[in-house]
């Protein structure tokens, strides 16, 4: 792969370093990034349309895990890709199936963006995948495939930071575009449910005992893991306009903040997440009341969902009760390092269709949550801004703010 070769600062990484601007300074409108390409594979099927249909109607995609033995686990369900979408590369615990689905998503995104070879030739590729003994091989396979099919120079950077890995990559891509370092950046991510991570999530009692992912609901018992791959092309608005590319959504703002609280538990009052949201709003120059939809992190965890709800109340105040909120994980599951990009894809698609994702699996209100959950679909809305939120181990929080094209 032709990744960030340490041959010197002039050629390595994402470009020459620049000067910092003031914290959360509004991004000039002409420099704001837009999304012009998008690809996705999920348990709902191949491409964005089946995923949007499932999200709009609250059709959860969970089923029994048959790919490996789960007889010894408390939880035996996940949201897995249909077998026909898995590349014919075996064994399934090797690196190539993951690279295969990531390359499929990249192909969808590049075709949708109508990217030419010349435009792809210098394209930075930011990849979010799980950190394990297969990370390097997966990255090399994605780099080789991207170079061979699209002429991109390889994988520029690999993000392994758990459930905010892909959102971190999106924020970095936004900075690269907004600061003029690159006209366009491709962000890709992938996750396949595999036996080891499934076993330790099960042993850590993170998985839903009742086999359903019920974000923010009374009676929620945990999350469910998911397969997914997704890719987005983020581009400077003037560059997209010059080449006549169709804009799917504007990436109006982004923010990142840490809890400074615990190795894996969220800060109970959601202070870190609320700072990430405020940072995203500040970059967009948007007021909280202008946000018309939140695709929440909502993993189905008792503690984390409550902390997230408190963060939303802190930022949106009296507006919170009318603010439509759902976690699309309730439909497509938790794809760990790929989750943020999968949820960004759902949010972008929902801005396009005007149909908000349903918060599936709800059994009834949790009085401590107090959110305006989207419980029935199809729910029609045309939000000016939509937020996609993610949180992770280590107290990491990200907020991506989208605006309709």
Partner 1 sequence: MTATPPPLPAPAAYGLRVLAEARRPAPGAPGAPGTPEEPPPLPGFAASGFNPLVADTAEHCLRARHGAPPAPGRTALLLASRSGDRATARAIDRAAEPGRRTAPLLFFQSNPNAVLGHLAARWGLTGPVVAISPAEAVPGEVPADALDAAALLLADGDAEQVLLIAAEATPDGHRAVAVLLAAQPS
By CB under 8 A, the residues from 156 to 185 that bind partner 1 are 157-162, 164-165, 168, 171-172, 175-176, 179
Pull the structure tokens for residue 303: 């503690």
Tell how far CA 48 is from the center of its chain: 14
For the CB of residue 126, give the shortest distance to partner 1 in the complex, in Å: 10
| Interface segment toward partner 1; rule CB under 8 A; list 251-259, 287-295, 304-312, 343-351 | 251-259
What part of residues 325-354 is at the interface with partner 1 (CB under 8 A)? 336
What part of residues 276-295 is at the interface with partner 1 (CB under 8 A)? 279
Nearest Cα to Cα of residue 284 among 27, 54, 62: 27
Pull the structure tokens for residue 340: 């943020």
Number of residues that bind partner 1 (CB under 8 A): 78
Answer for the pair 37, 110: CB distance below 8 angstroms, yes or no. Answer: yes
Nearest Cα to Cα of residue 281 among 401, 178, 174: 401
Among 107, 239, 384, 393, binds partner 1 (CB under 8 A): 393
| Interface segment toward partner 1; rule CB under 8 A; list 65-73, 230-238, 301-309, 370-378 | 65-73
Q: Does 121 bind partner 1 (CB under 8 A)?
A: no
For the CB of residue 29, give the shortest distance to partner 1 in the complex, in Å: 18
For the CB of residue 24, give the shortest distance to partner 1 in the complex, in Å: 6
Task: Between 14 and 76, name the residue whose CB sits nearer to partner 1.
Answer: 14
Q: Does 6 bind partner 1 (CB under 8 A)?
A: yes
For the CB of residue 43, give the shortest distance to partner 1 in the complex, in Å: 21
| Interface segment toward partner 1; rule CB under 8 A; list 51-59, 110-118, 229-237, 261-269 | 261-269
Q: Does 242 bind partner 1 (CB under 8 A)?
A: no
Q: Does 91 bind partner 1 (CB under 8 A)?
A: no
Q: Does 392 bind partner 1 (CB under 8 A)?
A: yes
Pull the structure tokens for residue 293: 């939809």
Task: Between 266 and 324, name the residue whose CB sits nearer to partner 1.
Answer: 266
**In this structure, what are the phi and psi dihedrals at residue 80, rounded to the nearest 5 degrees?**
-105, 150
Answer for the pair 127, 157: CB distance below 8 angstroms, yes or no. Answer: yes
What part of residues 9-38 is at the interface with partner 1 (CB under 8 A)? 9, 12-14, 17-25
Task: Between 172 and 343, name the residue whose CB sits nearer to partner 1.
Answer: 172
Complete DSSP assignment for 4-27? ---S-TTTSTTSS--PPPSTTPPP
Task: Between 175 and 232, name the residue whose CB sits nearer to partner 1.
Answer: 175
Among 184, 275, 310, 334, binds partner 1 (CB under 8 A): 275
Longest dimension (CA), the chain: 58
Rounded-to-integer distance, Cα 328 and Cα 346, Å: 8
* Location of structure tokens 């590729």: 125
CA dihedral 303, 343, 201, 213 (to 10 degrees): 60
Task: Between 43 and 129, name the residue whose CB sits nearer to partner 1.
Answer: 129
Among 82, 107, 151, 394, binds partner 1 (CB under 8 A): 394
Rounded-to-integer distance, Cα 31 and Cα 105, Å: 26
Q: Does 76 bind partner 1 (CB under 8 A)?
A: no
Q: Does 363 bind partner 1 (CB under 8 A)?
A: no
Rounded-to-integer distance, Cα 167 and Cα 342, Å: 10
Among 53, 104, 202, 305, binds partner 1 (CB under 8 A): 202
Rounded-to-integer distance, Cα 327 and Cα 121, Å: 36
For the CB of residue 380, give the shortest distance to partner 1 in the complex, in Å: 34
Distances from the Cα of 195 to the Cα of 136, 151, 188, 276, 334, angstroms: 19, 34, 23, 33, 15
Residue 405, burial from CB neighbour count under 10 angstroms (0-12, 13-18, 19+): middle
Cβ-based neighbour number of residue 246 at 10 Å? 12
Q: Does 259 bind partner 1 (CB under 8 A)?
A: yes
Task: Between 22 and 118, name the residue whose CB sits nearer to partner 1.
Answer: 22
Q: For the window 122-161, what string marks contact with partner 1 as x by the rule CB under 8 A? A: --------xxxx-xx--x---------------x-xxxxx
Among 231, 308, 395, 402, binds partner 1 (CB under 8 A): 395
Nearest Cα to Cα of residue 232 among 183, 166, 286: 166
């Amino acid at each position: 792969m032709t990744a960030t070769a340490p041959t010197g600062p002039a050629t390595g990484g994402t470009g020459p370093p620049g000067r910092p601007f003031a914290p959360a300074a509004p991004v000039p409108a002409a420099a704001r990034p837009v999304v012009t390409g998008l690809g996705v594979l999920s348990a709902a099927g191949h491409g964005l349309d089946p995923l949007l249909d499932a999200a709009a109607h609250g059709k959860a995609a969970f089923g029994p895990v048959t790919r490996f033995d789960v007889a010894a686990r408390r939880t035996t369900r996940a949201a897995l890709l249909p077998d026909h979408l898995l590349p014919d590369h075996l064994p399934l615990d090797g690196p190539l199936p993951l690279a295969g689905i990531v390359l499929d998503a990249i192909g969808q995104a590049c075709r949708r963006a109508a990217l030419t070879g010349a435009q792809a030739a210098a394209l930075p590729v930011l990849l979010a995948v799980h950190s394990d003994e297969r990370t390097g091989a997966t990255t090399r396979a994605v780099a080789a495939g991207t170079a061979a099919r699209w002429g991109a120079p390889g994988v520029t950077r690999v993000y392994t930071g758990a459930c905010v890995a892909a959102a971190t990559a999106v924020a970095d891509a936004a900075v690269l575009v907004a600061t003029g370092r690159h006209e366009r950046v491709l962000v890709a991510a992938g996750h396949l449910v595999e036996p080891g991570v499934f076993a330790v999530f099960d042993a850590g009692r993170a998985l839903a005992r009742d086999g359903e992912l019920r974000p923010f609901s009374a009676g929620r018992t945990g999350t469910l893991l998911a397969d997914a791959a997704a890719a987005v092309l983020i581009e400077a608005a003037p560059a997209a306009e010059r080449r006549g590319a169709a804009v799917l959504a504007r990436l109006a703002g982004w923010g990142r903040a840490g809890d400074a609280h615990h190795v894996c538990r969220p800060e109970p009052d959601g202070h870190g997440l609320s700072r990430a949201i405020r940072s995203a709003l500040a970059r967009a120059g948007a007021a909280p009341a202008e946000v018309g939809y939140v695709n929440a992190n909502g993993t189905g965890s008792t503690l984390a969902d409550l902390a997230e709800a408190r963060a939303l109340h802190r930022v949106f105040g009296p507006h919170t009760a009318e603010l439509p909120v759902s976690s699309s994980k309730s439909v497509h599951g938790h794809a760990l390092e790929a989750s943020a990009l999968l949820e960004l894809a759902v949010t972008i698609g929902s801005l396009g269709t005007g149909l908000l994702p349903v918060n599936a699996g709800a059994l009834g209100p949790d009085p401590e949550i107090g959110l305006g959950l989207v419980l029935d679909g199809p729910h029609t809305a045309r939000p000016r801004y939509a937020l996609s939120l993610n949180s992770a181990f280590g107290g990491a929080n990200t907020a991506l703010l989208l605006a309709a094209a």
